[in-house]
Chains A and B, each alone.
Chain A
Amino acid sequence: MKILVPVKRVVDKDIKIRVKADSSGVELANVKMSMNPFDEIAVEEAIRLKEAGKATEIIAVSIGAQQSGETIRTALAMGADRGILVKAEPPIEPLAVAKILKAIVEAEQPGLVIMGKQAIDDDCNQTGQMLAALLGWPQGTFASKLTVDGTDIQVTREVDGGLQTVKLKGPAIVTTDLRLNEPRYASLPNIMKAKKKPIDEKTPDAYGVDVKPRLEVLKTVEPPSRKAGVKVGSVAELVGKLKNEAGVL
């Protein structure tokens, strides 16, 4: 079974983003970029399935600018086998991404697609569900545990009140939550080896997908900022203020 793992290049999770002064967006020039953390978990899970003999090949896909090739390279260094880079000027909306991925799935015929539950830039949390819908496949979103037994795919999902387990008739889409695994670091020899692994380059046109955005971004601004409040001298003073001043007790 092949596993397809879509990966997105985003601003590194430890970087404090800055909104551009003209409200046109978030400053991306000269900012450290990394693989979306949830996608790292997806890559790791695919590698573990391959190591367990449940998968034969892992294909990492990224849709974005040329530099998204670096993100694919990271996935290859972790252990994916080959990559597909669909070059398109970001931002590409989840619906368009899902349509491109659908075309790739139809060409590659994976038994499973594992992807992050959301990207930490646009925070949409849509692409996996949309891809599942377009393919008519079942979905196991926000996965904290994944068991693959032939075409029986069991997913334990993180839901608001705890955990829910569903059984999916494969092929299926799984989106990752934080508890699924702890991604490995790529070793230096594997980073070197990854340089020789193939990456195919494509365009959205090759898949017949129109990536024109449906949402028009009118402006991007800083959220209202919080001001530091007061320091209190004791627990008793704190409780007094919470009760009498803030009125939250």
Chain B
Amino acid sequence: MPTLLIAEHDNKSLKDATHKAVTAAQGLGSEIHVLVAGQNCKSVADAAAKIDGVAKVLIADGALYEHQLAEPMAALIVSLAGPYEAIVAPATTAGKNYLPRVAALLDVMQISDISKVVAPDTFERLIYAGNAVQTVRSRDPKKVITVRTAAFQAAGEGGSAPVESAAAASDPGVSSFVGEELSKSDRPELTSAKVIISGGRAMQSRENFTKYIEPVADRLGAAVGASRAAVDAGYAPNDWQVGQTGKVVAPELYIAVGISGAIQHLAGMKDSKVIVAINKDEEAPIFQVADYGLVADLYQALPELEQELGKLGR
């Protein structure tokens, strides 16, 4: 029985999270069908058809799905669920919103945020914000799964799957979209950024984030993060927070500046490929997980770092 995978997109472009979820879904060993639900999203469906390993694309195109609200999305996915053995979505805020709703309607216990497919019914997932890895086997006849995209490589492109229309489901009519305020920053989102530079309490002010962290972020095309201490002190907005109760990230390069390395911060970033720590205190726990540590005053080190990166043409 095939796998139904729900695409992550914004009606214009297909997001990389979809490609990563396809790689996870390939571990289930069945044919993969991708559902693109949105409005005027034909170009997204065409892009999904090109992903290697995708056998078919279903498109549900209509105003009801423009903002992928959980209630109509869940109704649609459940209406299509019959022939599928597994339903998979990336563990983005969109997938996390609608997929548990689908699971409950199908009377299935969802397997959230899997980091590895051990067998078609057995998965690894991180608990306690990555401080433990659990292997679970699902006893449900259907599997409903969200995928921790940071744990999978993106599937390649080169396929040409057929695109078919899927009938819209009825509108539950209990929710409506009011508006959105998407970050206007040219910087990448924290959860999908390849490079992140984060500041801690030692930044001392919001202005210092702008003056010291952001120029380096601009050089690197990096997202900007913060420790909970910096957020609690009002130096950075809450949506920058990396850690156990903030965002869990796994970029290629993570630069922690003036961050001591509290457990809850480490939990949110220790899967990064390369970690750099810049801290005045050479005893700071952050150095225990850093690949490269620099004991230095950040107010001197960051301007220097910006200059050095400039020399490289970054």
Contacts and interface: CB of A to CB of B under 8 A. Distances in A.
A248 B180 contact: no
B122 A218 contact: yes
B209 to A, nearest CB: 17
Interface stretch (B24-32, B43-51, B200-208, B285-293): B285-293
A248 B253 CA distance: 7
A37 to B, nearest CB: 6
Nearest to A116: B245
B101 A229 contact: no
B293 A231 contact: yes
Interface in A108-157: 120-134, 136-139, 141-142, 144, 154, 157
B176 A215 contact: no
Contacts of A163: 180-182
A141 B274 contact: no
Given A166-B175, A178-B245, A122 B292 contact: no
A123 B112 contact: yes
Contacts of B233: none
A235 B308 contact: yes
A220 B136 CA distance: 9
B100 A126 contact: yes
B294 A159 contact: no
A162 interface: yes
Contacts of B295: 231
A222 B287 CA distance: 20
A162 B294 contact: no
A217 interface: yes
Interface stretch (B64-72, B152-160, B161-169): B64-72
A98 interface: yes
A220 B132 contact: yes
A87 B288 CA distance: 42
A98 B94 CA distance: 20
B138 A231 contact: no
Interface string A219-239: 111110010111110111011
B270 interface: yes
A200 interface: no
A14 B112 CA distance: 23
B176 A160 contact: no
A148 to B, nearest CB: 14
B172 interface: yes
B103 A162 contact: no
A98 B289 CA distance: 38
A243 interface: yes
A120 B103 contact: no
A168 B176 CA distance: 7
Chain A contact residues: helix, strand, loop or mixed: mixed
A165 interface: yes
A126 B110 contact: yes
Contacts of B63: none
A216 B263 contact: no
A124 B111 CA distance: 8
A238 B70 CA distance: 46
Given A26-B132, A95-B108, A133 B100 contact: yes
A184 to B, nearest CB: 15
A61 to B, nearest CB: 18
Contacts of B253: 242, 246, 248-249
A243 B139 contact: no
A123 B312 CA distance: 41
Contacts of B287: 228, 231
B97 A139 contact: yes
A38 B238 CA distance: 14
Contacts of B191: 160
B113 interface: yes
A160 B195 contact: no
A19 B113 CA distance: 20
B131 interface: yes
Interface in A164-183: 164-169, 172, 177-179
Contact of B245 (A37, A236, A248): A37
A223 B267 CA distance: 11
17 contacts: A95-B104, A120-B128, A129-B100, A130-B104, A164-B180, A165-B178, A169-B175, A179-B239, A214-B138, A217-B134, A218-B136, A221-B133, A231-B293, A232-B293, A235-B301, A242-B274, A246-B291
Given A123-B113, A163-B182, 15 more contacts: A11-B128, A95-B110, A121-B127, A123-B127, A132-B101, A133-B102, A138-B71, A138-B172, A141-B96, A158-B93, A160-B189, A167-B177, A215-B111, A223-B130, A238-B305
Sort A-B residue pairs by CB-CB distance and give the 6 closest, nearest first: A214-B109, A229-B291, A129-B100, A130-B104, A133-B104, A126-B100
